[in-house]
Structure 1
Amino acid sequence: MNGLHPIKMPSAKEKVAAELRKAILSRQLQEGEAVTLESVANQLEVSVMPVREAFQILARDGLIKLQRNKGAVVLGINETYIREHYQLRAILESAAAEMCCAPEVDITRIEESYECAAESIQNNDFAAYADENREFHSEIWSAAGNSRMENMIAELWNGLSMGSMITEADYAKVSIEEHERIMKAIREKNGAAAKEEMYRHIMRSRDDMLTNYR
């Protein structure tokens, strides 16, 4: 079969960091709660090494404090942290979307990832949307052509920002509509529109996540 391409999957450390970050931001992991390398590795079905690397990322970001016993303690966060986290993501991801609009950029894989996600929504397969959502975003980071930017955004990724007032299905339907507007701007090589739509998309995710703090 022709026309297929490898799915751009996150590295093991990025997957672990994203899952832990999401759990902390959504308060599934509470301030003061202890986590260990082994427990996280077992729950996510990965080896200890990527968990150790993910702990280093989250410690650098001030989300956890490393312990000598191969574990960590979750630190407290507030609305200010949430707002700053999503603002940084929005700045970087909107810049990446704008860069994808350069005439020489091949957007084929961005289009393919968008179409796969849209098809899943049409088939009411909302469970698959988390991976397809990241795939769409990661293809944009990659197409932008700045590997340092791509690595920075990947380490900031925290999965679906569903908050406490929206279902998985509702989130997916809102998200794919926003992706459609981003995709339209990229296809039209309209950098200003792509930047604006991506920024708005990330900040809407911020507002959803903030419902966990109200």
Structure 2
Amino acid sequence: MKNLKPIKLVPAREMVAIRLREAIMLRELKEGDLITLEGIASQLDVSITPVREAFQILEGELLIKRRPNKSALVLGISRKNLQDHYETRAVLESEAAAMAAKSGADISDIVELHQHTEKLLNEGVVEEYSNSNHAFHLGIWEAAGNDKIKAILTSLWNGLSMDVGITEMEYAKLSHREHTGILQAILDRDPEKARALMNEHIYRSYKNILTRFNVEENKQNEEEKNGQ
């Protein structure tokens, strides 16, 4: 598996699950691939314990099948599962944004994070964006004040939904601009606008990741065709 970065956020088991979920959705990990506790722990610079716990999480999501020898078989993800995943995220994240706008919660920490992220991007620093992006969304879930929604969204998080042919910096700037609108709607206590903007944000992410899915699916179909 390529391009896995060291984990900086906690709890570690959830962050390992996020990295693996993202790799499966981007089809960097494909159906039939075998992953091991030791291999993933080494790549992500964590101990084996959170990897073992992440394997349990992903098995419950039917993304992998654990094996007795400290390994797991990647089951992959279908187009329907990908659609279901983002539709669910869109419903819950949009409502969380609306609830945050209505709650009157102190979101100064989200504002501060957003400003810090903008400063880094203006300076050409993109390495921290994946974690900043997660923290931005997490802040909104917390501001919504619904622990159940927060728990479900935490289990659905899958990192950056990168489009084909776009750089990480281009993606980060696009995502950050959308965050600016969402944050302003929450600050303005405008739940309808916050809901609409978050919905657009999640569906744009879905369309982006779908381009990668399509490329990999077409490649796989071509390989199967040539192998016949």
Quick check: TM above 0.5? yes
Q: Which runs of 5+ in 2 are unaligned?
A: 1-7, 215-228
Instruction: State the AA in 2 paired with 1:169.
Output: M
In the aligned structure 2, how far is the partner of 1:137 from the partner of 1:91? 14
Q: Quote the residue 1:51 is aligned against.
A: 51
1:77 aligned to 2:72?
no
What does 1:63-212 correspond to in 2, within 5 Å? 63-212=63-212
In the aligned structure 1, how far is the partner of 2:69 from the partner of 2:103? 52
Moved over 6 A (4+): none
Provide Cα deviations, 1:108-161, integer angstroms capped at 9, x if missing partner. Answer: 112111111111121111122111111111111111112222121112111111
**Secondary structure at 1:83's aligned position in 2?**
helix
Provide Cα deviations, 1:82-112, integer angstroms capped at 9, x if missing partner. Answer: 1111111111111111111125311111211
Instruction: State the AA in 2 paired with 1:15.
Output: M
Q: Is the 8 A contact 2:163 2:211 kept in 1?
A: yes
In the aligned structure 1, how far is the partner of 2:118 from the partner of 2:91? 25
RMSD, aligned CA: 1.4
Q: How far has the Cα of 1:20 moved from its partner? A: 0.2
Q: Quote the residue 2:10 is aligned against.
A: 10
Q: How many residues align?
A: 207
In the aligned structure 2, how far is the partner of 1:154 from the partner of 1:103? 20
Q: Give the TM-score normalised by the residue count of structure 2.
A: 0.87
Per the alignment, do residues 78 and 182 of structure 1 end up closer, same or farther by CA in structure 2, a change over 3 Å counting? same
Q: How far has the Cα of 1:9 moved from its partner? A: 3.4
Q: Quote the residue 1:21 is aligned against.
A: 21
Instruction: State the AA in 2 paired with 1:123.
Output: E
In the aligned structure 2, how far is the partner of 1:213 from the partner of 1:134? 22
Q: Which runs of 5+ in 1 are unaligned?
A: 1-7
Q: Quote the residue 2:224 is aligned against.
A: none
Greater RCO (CA < 8 Å, at least 6 residues apart): 1
In the aligned structure 1, how far is the partner of 2:103 from the partner of 2:54? 36
Per the alignment, do residues 103 and 72 of structure 1 end up closer, same or farther by CA in structure 2, a change over 3 Å counting? closer
Q: Quote the residue 1:5 is aligned against.
A: none
Q: How far has the Cα of 1:10 moved from its partner? A: 3.3
In the aligned structure 2, how far is the partner of 1:34 from the partner of 1:103? 45
Give percent identity, aligned residues only. 44
Instruction: State the AA in 1 paired with 2:170.
Output: D
